[in-house]
Amino acid sequence: MPFVIAVPKEMTEGEKRVATVPEVVMKLTKSGHEVRIEHDAGMSAYYPDNLFSAAGATIAFSRADLLNGANIVLCVQPPTVADVDQIAEGAIIIGFMNPARNPEAVIRMRDRKVTAFALELVPRITRAQSMDALSSQATAAGYSAAILGSAHCPKFLPMLTTAAGTIRPATVLILGAGVAGLMAIATAKRLGAVVEAYDVRRAAGEQVRSLGAKFLELEINAEGQGGYARELTPEEKVQEQQMVSEAVARADIVITTAAIPGRRAPLLITKETVAMMRPGAVIVDLAAESGGNCELTRPGKTVQEHGITILGPQNLPAQVPFHSSQMFAKNLQSFLSLLFDKDGAPVREFSDEILAASLLVYAGEVRHGPTRDLLSGVKS
C-alpha cells in the first residue's frame, strides 16, 4: 500500500536541516510511495527543489497542500500545534519530539489521535544502529565543536617548524567521550592538536586511545544503562573536579559533551576553574541547552571571562546541514522500513521493540511513561 509522505520546511530559528534528501526520496518513490516536499525545505541544507523533483518528489507550495492527505510526516524538529491541526487523524509523525519542552504539541497529537514516533527514544541496540538519529547528529555536533573551537583559538593547532622558529601544538581537552566527544577527538587530532579526553566510563578509555588521544584516568566507574553515565556520588564528584580542573587549566581548547538524559547537565567547570585557564583559551560547551557543563556558559551566547572565550552553541548539527541532513534522512529511511511488512503492507501493530520503545503517542493515548507523567500536571 503506497503512502503519501510529507516533508515540511523546518521553521525553528537557526534550523537548516531537512528531514529527507533526494537520494532517499528516489528510493521511497521507487517503492511506490508519493513524496511531497515543501517548497525550499532543503534550500538551507543545499538541496534545492529541482534535485527533489528529479528524484521523483512533488513540490508543495503551501503547508496546507503539503499536509492534506499525508499519511506520514517526516520532520527534524517537533511539529507545531498549528501543523498538528492540519494533519489527519491516524497519520504518523516521525522526528525529534522533545516532549518535555513541547507538551502542547504532544497534547494536541493525543487529542487528534495522531501517531507520533520520537527518534530520541529509539533504543540503543545493535539492530537500531542505522536508525540512531541521536548518534548521527551527535557526530555532526562533535565535528562542528572542534572546528568552532579552533576558529576561536588564537593559536595554531598543529606543531609547525618554520624559519621563525618551532610552534608548539595546541592542547585540546574533550570532557565526555560519547559519540560527540569521540568525533571531536578525531577532528582535533586531524587538525594536529595534542588531545586529552576524560569520561567517567572507564570503558571509554579504549575508544579514546584508539583515536590517538590520552585518556585521563580516575578510579571511578560510572557507567549506567543504555551507554550513558550515571550520576556521581558527592565523594566521586570531588575527585573528578580536582583532576578535571587541572586538565582544564593546561588546555587551549576545552570541549564539553557530558549529559544525563532527562536531567540538568553535570557541572564540570566552575568559574574558579575558568579563572585558572590560560589567556586566550576557549571552552565549547555542547551541553549548553541542558544547563551547561561550565558554570559561566550562556545558551546561544559567547561569553568572555578572564580572557577566556566560552561558547554555548545550540543546534550544532545545523552548522553542517548538508551531511547532517543526509545522515538523518538515512536514519528515517531505516526507521520507515519497520512500518511495513515483508510484502510492503503497513504493519497494524507496533509490536517491534524499536517501534514500541519510540512510540510517543498512539490512538489518543500518550504511550511514553515519563511523558505521560509529565503531562499529568499540564492543563490540556
Q: Which three cell numbers stand for residue 155?
A: 593559536
Catalytic residue among 129, 130, 242, 380: 129
Catalytic, 132? Answer yes
Taking each helix axis from N to C terminus, what angle separates 321-336 and 22-30, rounded to the nearest 10 degrees? 20
Catalytic, 44? Answer no
Catalytic residue among 86, 135, 144, 358: 135
Catalytic, 325? Answer no
Contact 87, 107 (CB under 8 A): no
Catalytic residue among 40, 53, 65, 124: 124
Strand order in the sheet with 171-175: 214-215, 194-198, 171-175, 253-256, 282-285, 308-311, 302-305
Q: Which three cell numbers stand for residue 50?
A: 529541482
Taking each helix axis from N to C terminus, what angle separates 133-152 and 321-336, rounded to the nearest 10 degrees? 170
Catalytic residue among 44, 47, 132, 326: 132
Catalytic, 136? Answer no
Q: Rounded to 10 degrees, what is the CA torsion of 94, 98, 99, 103?
A: -110
Catalytic, 242? Answer no
Active-site residue set: 124, 129, 132, 135, 228
